[in-house]
Amino acid sequence: MKFGLFGSAQAKRGGPDVDSGQGFKDYVDYNIEAEALGYAATFVVEHHFTGFGQVSASMNLLGWVAAKTSTIRVGTAVMVLPWHNPVLLAEQAATLDLLSGGRLEFGVGKGYRNNEFESFCIDPAEAEERFEESLALIMKAFTSNERFSHNGKYWKFKDIIVEPPPFQKPHPRMWMAAGSPKSIAQVAERGFNLMLDQFASTEVTLERFNLFKSEVEKRGRRFDPMSVGVCRAFYVARNVQEKEQAVENRLQATLRMADLAKSGRDNKSSMMTFAETKEASEESALYGSPDEIAAKVDRLRKAGVELILLNGPGGSREHLRRFGRDVMPAFAGLPPVLQAAQ
Amino acid sequence: MKFGLFGSAQAKRGGPDVDSGQGFKDYVDYNIEAEALGYAATFVVEHHFTGFGQVSASMNLLGWVAAKTSTIRVGTAVMVLPWHNPVLLAEQAATLDLLSGGRLEFGVGKGYRNNEFESFCIDPAEAEERFEESLALIMKAFTSNERFSHNGKYWKFKDIIVEPPPFQKPHPRMWMAAGSPKSIAQVAERGFNLMLDQFASTEVTLERFNLFKSEVEKRGRRFDPMSVGVCRAFYVARNVQEKEQAVENRLQATLRMADLAKSGRDNKSSMMTFAETKEASEESALYGSPDEIAAKVDRLRKAGVELILLNGPGGSREHLRRFGRDVMPAFAGLPPVLQAAQ
């Protein structure tokens, strides 16, 4: 089994006394230590105009992490294609992939926060179409050794060859998040890797995991368990009170995030269909003593899950260490390792 | 006096035997050594679809350089604004500035290669207007602590606050290349720093330097010699034959580049008005023995130039060392140092 991380970093805005870069530097240090502790990958979000300093230029931050580390894989979770010129995005991704020696895990998505669509002045109704056009163009940009033109609905390019080529051939490992049966089947159809969200219950998560496996096999391909990353929040608590408080905090944070995504829009993302109760929040999270957490991880492992992507409390190095030292060793060393295209 | 570098890197495309990342890694190592030798800054180009692997995602490459160094300033020469979503570009620049502790020198331009305009399907006639709209938006993105909207001809954003904020306040040091009197006056008017090209003769370069000085002072500001970077090619030759060959090679390379920029378009850029003769090519370049080069640098220094941006032969570490050891020490230590906003 392998454990990776997913999360964000925060650059606070403020007066002359505030070092806005501190949150980014902490994030880099967090990942340097994660590599040393044996975490195999780190995924970062992309968000814009939040007002609280979430990561926006995700691949620039990931580049810094990659430059300061040597083995940990760096991933986007996810780059929101409707915001980007697909060719410039492919250039950025390939540059990061080259410089890191093929350590890029390239997650892509359609966007789900209504206020981001509004701020970019992009109609959410176009998200699907924009995503498909951009993705097809990005894959061609990664793989074409010949010049080509693109005359799409949203983008036009003439006689281009996109440079540099990525390190991983034919392209960086691609990821998408999905939850509904239709979306999961589409990820299998594309031949991409699948991220399963941190909110769904263990039971629902395993149903989705098995559905993806069967969708892959249905297409005549061998299923690689490392092609599914199960996202889970974690909190290694020292006592029951600490755990209870953490569960409550998580529920509140989740409700706030759900509000942000839903505001003003009928958001149909499967990620937003989790039960908003304390019990559901606790069930889906790896919160508790090392033994409690290990029991939950073991249930996932026995069902075939081999890659768990963890989100820790507020970038706490202490929790990173607790999980790395008190939980991870019991599951390490089981084959296969995270497949790197190195 | 201070010496910086400007140049590019190359990611070759090829079969399984070609490590496309080698050129980028060499570029990073080149700059690590440059910092150790006392070079103060390094500027990289932005180009697209060249077919020979020039740098496209410039700030991603610069981020890697910055992560592997600690003092050398990292600059763009230049980011071509018409290709970019201005808000995403501001986010990238601010992220790099934050992570590097304020080492970004942010050069911007309008674009000059006709084939790039064609490939991006952007009318060169719009370049000026696109540049102005983007630049104004980028400056607002860097400096506004309040949400704002933008309803321009080319870009629309609603209720945005651009994150993260840059490290340097109020914004990263800004650079533009200019040659014509009108353009030089505009750079002074904007309060930006000026890059003078490597092709103009010493005499023309000093005229431009003095014009910029007077344009700055005319506006009631103190002229800072570090606000002008004079670009020069250099080649520290061990004998006359080596120098002659290098001068000839430079002339041929220059003519090829001029062709690339001019093809199919009446390019009025002042950068392209250099005399295309061997004598002119030699006069403008710092080619020759250390003593010959020192005499040329001294002429610039006596005229008030304090920052020279060097372009060395094919990323040669040997030439970087020769200049650093045999020429630079004679000019080092003269005030003022390159002003860093750290």
* pLDDT tens digits for range A154-170: 999 999 999 999 999 99
Domains parsed from chain A with CATH numbers: 1-177 (3.20.20.30), 180-334 (3.20.20.30)
pLDDT above 90: residue A272? no
Which pLDDT does position A269 carry in this prediction?
54
Which pLDDT does position A278 carry in this prediction?
85
For helices B58-67 and A58-67, the axis angle rounded to 10 degrees is: 30
User: CA of B79, closest CA in chain A: separation in Å?
Assistant: 12
Q: Which residues contact A314 (CB under 8 A, 6 or more apart)?
A: none
C-alpha of A10 from chain center: 17
For helices B22-37 and A86-99, the axis angle rounded to 10 degrees is: 70
Which pLDDT does position A15 carry in this prediction?
75
E strands present in A168-311: 173-177, 193-196, 228-236, 286-288, 307-311
- Judge: A118–B63 Cβ closer than 8 Å, yes or no: no
- Predicted ipTM of the assembly: 0.94
pLDDT above 50: residue A175? yes
Torsion A221-A222-A225-A226 (CA) sign? negative
N residues, chain B: 342
Nearest CA in chain B to A150: B119
pLDDT above 80: residue A42? yes
Nearest CA in chain A to B119: A158
> Which of B313, B327, B256, B341 has the alpha carbon at shortest distance from B8?
B313
Nearest CA in chain A to B161: A49
Nearest CB among B61, B95, B156 relative to A95 is that of B61
The upper half-sphere exposure of residue A104, i.e. CA atoms within 13 Å in the direction of its Cβ, equals: 34
B300-337 residue pLDDT tens:
999 999 999 999 887 899 999 999 999 999 997 644 34
Nearest CB among A68, A160, A167 relative to B21 is that of A167
**What single letter denotes the amino acid at residue A100?**
S
Query: CB–CB of B25/B56 below 8 Å?
Result: no
Nearest CA in chain A to B11: A164
Q: What is the CA radius of gyration of chain B?
A: 20
CA distance A11 to A177: 26
Query: CB–CB of B250/B233 below 8 Å?
Result: yes
Q: Report the SS3 class of residue B244.
A: helix
User: CA of A23, closest CA in chain B: separation in Å?
Assistant: 10
A121-155 residue pLDDT tens:
999 999 999 999 999 999 999 999 999 999 999 99
Chain A residues close to B59, C-beta within 8 Å: 60
- Judge: B88–A83 Cβ closer than 8 Å, yes or no: yes
pLDDT above 80: residue A260? no
pLDDT above 90: residue A262? no
Whether residue A216 has a cis bond before it, omega within 30° of 0:
no
- Containing A291, the helix (H) or strand (E) segment is helix A290-302
How many percent of chain A have pLDDT more than 70?
A: 92
Residue A16 binned pLDDT confidence (cut-offs 50, 70, 90): confident
pTM, 2 dp: 0.94
Residue pairs between chains A and B whose CB atoms are closer than 8 Å: 170
Q: Which residues of chain B have pLDDT under 50?
A: 264-268, 334-342
E strands present in chain B: 2-7, 41-44, 73-80, 104-109, 148-151, 156-160, 173-177, 193-196, 228-236, 286-288, 307-311
Chain A residues close to B154, C-beta within 8 Å: none
pLDDT above 80: residue A50? yes
User: CA of B158, closest CA in chain A: separation in Å?
Assistant: 4
A75-89 residue pLDDT tens:
999 999 999 999 999
User: CA of A248, closest CA in chain B: separation in Å?
Assistant: 29
Query: CB–CB of B2/B337 below 8 Å?
Result: yes
CA distance A233 to A311: 5
Question: What mean pLDDT is reported for chain A?
Answer: 92
User: For residue B231, what are the β-bridge partners?
Assistant: B309
Nearest CA in chain A to B61: A95
Chain B residues close to A157, C-beta within 8 Å: 119-121
Nearest CB among B61, B63, B163 relative to A50 is that of B163
CA distance A81 to A111: 8
Which pLDDT does position B260 carry in this prediction?
67
Q: Which of A67-81, A91-105, A325-339 has the lowest mean pLDDT?
A: A325-339
Cα–Cα separations (whole angstroms), residue B176 to A141, A223, B109, B268, B308: 30, 53, 6, 16, 15
CA distance B60 to B113: 22
